Structure 1
Amino acid sequence: MGIDGLRGGRSAGMDNIPDPLDFLRRIETMSASDIAREVKKPSALLMERAAARQGELEVAYAPFDHVNGSARVVIVGITPGRTQMEAAINAAKSGYLMKLPEEKILERAKVHASFSGDMRPDLVALLDFIGMPRVLGVGSTNELWGRAASLVHFTSALRYPTFFNGENYNGTPRVGSDPLLQRHVKAWFGAEVAALKDAIFVLLGGKVEDFVLPVLQAGGVPDGRIIRGFFHPSGANRERVKYFLGTLGKPPSVKVDREKTDRNREEIIAKVSAL
């Protein structure tokens, strides 16, 4: 597959957004200090900046372009954060130093950086708990970052790292209220749905659902292949994740909606069992 195919294309109406491949090639000449500065305050890798309600939105480039068109499961977060941005850029830089072709650089960076950091163990625990290893024929979903990487496509509602007032974007402002966010969801995630509509989509959290459910439904993905009611495996959700998994070991605090979580857990496991 050529470089354009691996990037997954983009929807119409995005001519005002620079070509991501131009940004990828800037990484080749960056030093370690350059990369650290870009992660802290994007400049050379800044794709777009726009005023938003009560602040400013910025979208920065990081090599999350690769689309695995043969994936059986798609794991959807909200946007890569600074931890994932740094991991992806460093993986791309090392790929250039190894003289790898750009197709392989993009593929390598995507798998290495997706859901990296503290969230990955919780994500693996959640996916294993609901029965995804049986569906995929693996011992554990931890293998999706290794020998079973061909089975998965990691992505986000907002493909590229997005920041609000200099902090990792967390769902505010809402996508429906901001034209920049709407453009990026439709451009990148919409193209991925068209390429992967027969896969299973696992949506990590209610804010992700708000972003992508309309796109999935418009793309013809049946509800039986959309796993929702799931928690995003971030540190802020640690107690909720442990309650979902049955590993909390104590009564949950008021932050946990036990009735809703119990219902969602039952529905998700039943849906996965039917796949």
Structure 2
Amino acid sequence: MLSRSTLRHQVETHLAEEIRALGPQCLYVPLGPKVAEIFQHLQAKGLLKPEQLLDGLPHPSGANAERISYFLGSKAREQLSSKTNAAVLDMAKVRILAKLATLRSKGIMN
């Protein structure tokens, strides 16, 4: 989306306005890597703090059923097909859980 000027303009104008309006206490959970790219772009521009972005979740489409099952712990690593990169999902889960623990310790989340 960022490679197309019209879509990037929408992100940098309209989505950025919404982020400013919601403020620094808002958390963002992009579902899928393409949406995460958008929020990482806005984070690089200083609109979001790193702890506001809980990225790494698989996109919730039917094509990602195996990734979602593994991420949620209902499918074992040894049962995954070669199309699913367990290491990427494991790292994302560790990052998300660490951010949540930090937010809890700061009293931002219960």
- Give the TM bin, normalised by the shorter chain: 0.7 to 0.9
Q: Is residue 200–residue 225 contact of structure 1 (8 Å, CA) maintained in 2?
A: yes
Structure 1 runs of 4+ off > 6 angstroms?
A: none
Identity of aligned residues (%): 32
- Structure number with the higher helix fraction is 2
Q: 1:185 aligns with which of 11, 22, 26?
A: 11
Q: 1:232 aligns with which of 55, 59, 62?
A: 59
- Once the two structures are TM-superposed, the CA of residue 255 in structure 1 deviates from its matched residue by 1.5
Query: Per-residue displacement from partner, 1:55-78 (whole Å, max 9, x unpaired)?
Result: xxxxxxxxxxxxxxxxxxxxxxxx
- Aligned pairs, how many? 101
In structure 2, C-alpha distance between the alignment counterparts of 1:222 and 1:186, rounded to whole Å: 16
Query: Per-residue displacement from partner, 1:72-100 (whole Å, max 9, x unpaired)?
Result: xxxxxxxxxxxxxxxxxxxxxxxxxxxxx
Which residue number in structure 2 is paired with residue 216 of structure 1?
A: 43
Q: 1:247 aligns with which of 61, 68, 74?
A: 74
Using structure 2 for the length normalisation, give the TM-score. 0.80
Which residue number in structure 1 is paired with residue 85 of structure 2?
A: 257
- Structure number with the higher strand fraction is 1
Q: Is residue 204–residue 233 contact of structure 1 (8 Å, CA) maintained in 2?
A: yes
Query: Per-residue displacement from partner, 1:32-54 (whole Å, max 9, x unpaired)?
Result: xxxxxxxxxxxxxxxxxxxxxxx
Larger Rg: 1
Question: What is the Cα-based RMSD across aligned positions, in Å?
Answer: 1.7
- Once the two structures are TM-superposed, the CA of residue 243 in structure 1 deviates from its matched residue by 0.4
Unaligned ranges ≥5, structure 2 = 104-110
Unaligned ranges ≥5, structure 1 = 1-174
Letter in 2 for 1:265: K
Q: 1:196 aligns with which of 22, 47, 55?
A: 22
Alignment of 1:16-95 (within 5 A): none
Letter in 1 for 2:81: S
